[in-house]
Amino acid sequence: MKKQQLMFTSLFIATILAGCGSKSTQTPQQSSDQKVTITMWQTFSDVETKVFDQKVIPAFEKANPNIKVKATRMPSGDEYNQQIIQAVSGNSAPDLARVEVTAVPKYAKLGAFYQIDKQKDFEQFSKQLVKGPLSTNLYEGHYYGIPLDTNTRVAIYNKALLAKAGLKTPPTDFKSLIDKAKGIVDDETFVFGPAGSSSWGLMPYFYSLGGTFANKKSTKATGYLDSKASIQAMKTLVEWNKKGYMGKSLTGGLGTWEGLNGGNYLMIDDGPWYAQANKKTANQVTYALFPKGKAGSLEVIGGENTVIFNSSKHKEAAYKFAKYLASDKAQTIFAKELEMLPVNRTTSKKPVVQDNELMALYSKQLDTAVSRIPSAKWEQIDKTISLAFENCLVKGGDPAATLKDAAMKVDTYLAE
């Protein structure tokens, strides 16, 4: 911990110094005939890297012959975050990087990322992008990245349990679903198989039922996380759990995939990766939009963004490539070759997406999906909310008191 704190301190000092210089100078301009090489760190899988290296980058370089892209595949997770910290504090960061959506605010606050909306055409360009994924780059009123790839979750149903409940197709709302399905509930059969009691697992349920974590500007949790609507949403989840509707996955028991495929869970919600990993049981499940609650059908946004480092000496070239990765041309390549959900609005309306039943469904769910709180303290906020959910659903805590306490704690993080 001491070593990590030292590294963060070094990063903070280094980025403050870098920030002081960047405010007094204009973004470097490059002449049209100047040849440059830009570097990028990416975290794609083996298959994705092959498409990125062999199709996406060559197409960009052909259209921009004076810009060469050198991409390096990096490890994901905590190791990647540590390497970003070391690179920025040691002034050895690449020009661009692919980062997970919740990481953008943390590094933006430290001054590591270039403020993308400084570019004159950004406002116009941003109109081409899907609103949800774009929002994950917003921090304190400014954009610090461009969406690269995105994901969300939809409802996935066990066909046999649907039939047992007397349903030919999945109901569109929670009330209709529970009214029909409660009759099949027993010690081993449940209506829902949530992905744990964490904020990630329960956010779609909580939000769809009318709850929320903070205000629209993500500056205050008190009055929102502990509002009447949020308390009622939590009380509904507690009631569902007491009645046996919530599966063992809520407390870390039988996993969502195992429970769905094994006939224990009527419904789970998951991303496109479920279908890719469960092809053998594809005929046993069916997909639908997440059920509507009081606030609608609201899922959570995931994915990665392209960011430009403040230390880059080739910001204009890097910006061109970041825009290209979110363009219809690049997003069409990703969609055709990898079935990746597009972040470009034009691409999302193309046959490559709309003629693919699953891609079209996920793309439609993305229209109402919401991002997590864009805060540099998201990890601490996430833990606070997750513990509150666990206290109410697992330990029997009072929803009103628990959410009030959590809201005050979240406010301290938002104020830092």
Residue 200 has which token pair? 């990630």
Residue 82 has which token pair? 């540590």
* Average pLDDT over the chain, rounded to an integer: 92
Q: Which amino acid is at 132?
A: G
At 11 the pLDDT is 47
Q: Which CATH number fits domain 154-300+375-415: 3.90.280.10, 3.40.640.10, 3.30.1460.30, 3.40.190.10?
A: 3.40.190.10
CA separation for the pair 254, 315 (Å, rounded): 48
Of residues 416, 402, 407, 381, the one with CA closest to residue 198? 381
**CA of 402: how far to CAs of 268, 408, 411, in Å?**
26, 10, 14
Of residues 135, 215, 214, 232, the one with CA closest to residue 381? 214
- pTM for the full predicted model: 0.89
CA separation for the pair 65, 60 (Å, rounded): 8
Tens digits of residue pLDDT in 54-82? 999 999 999 999 999 999 999 988 899 99
Give the number of other Cβ atoms within 10 Å of residue 393's Cβ: 22
Task: Return the H-helix or E-strand segment holding 187.
Answer: none
- What is the percent of the chain where pLDDT is above 70? 92
At 416 the pLDDT is 84
Of residues 68, 8, 67, 78, the one with CA closest to residue 43? 78
The label of the residue with tokens 């805590």 reads 397
Pairing between β-strand 190-192 and β-strand 302-308 as defined by DSSP bridges: unpaired
Does the pLDDT of residue 371 top 80, yes or no?
Answer: yes
State mean pLDDT over 333-349: 97
At 34 the pLDDT is 82
CATH 3.40.190.10, the chain: domain bounds: 36-150+303-366, 154-300+375-415
CA separation for the pair 194, 203 (Å, rounded): 10
Give 335-354 as a DSSP string: HHHH-PBPSBHHHHTSHHHH
At 76 the pLDDT is 85
Which class does domain 36-150+303-366 fall in?
Answer: alpha beta
CA torsion, ordered 173, 271, 166, 160, to nearest 10 deg: -170
CA separation for the pair 324, 320 (Å, rounded): 6
Tens digits of residue pLDDT in 241-272? 999 999 999 999 999 999 999 999 999 999 99
At 169 the pLDDT is 96
Pairing between β-strand 142-143 and β-strand 138-139 as defined by DSSP bridges: antiparallel
17 falls in which pLDDT band (50, 70, 90)? very low
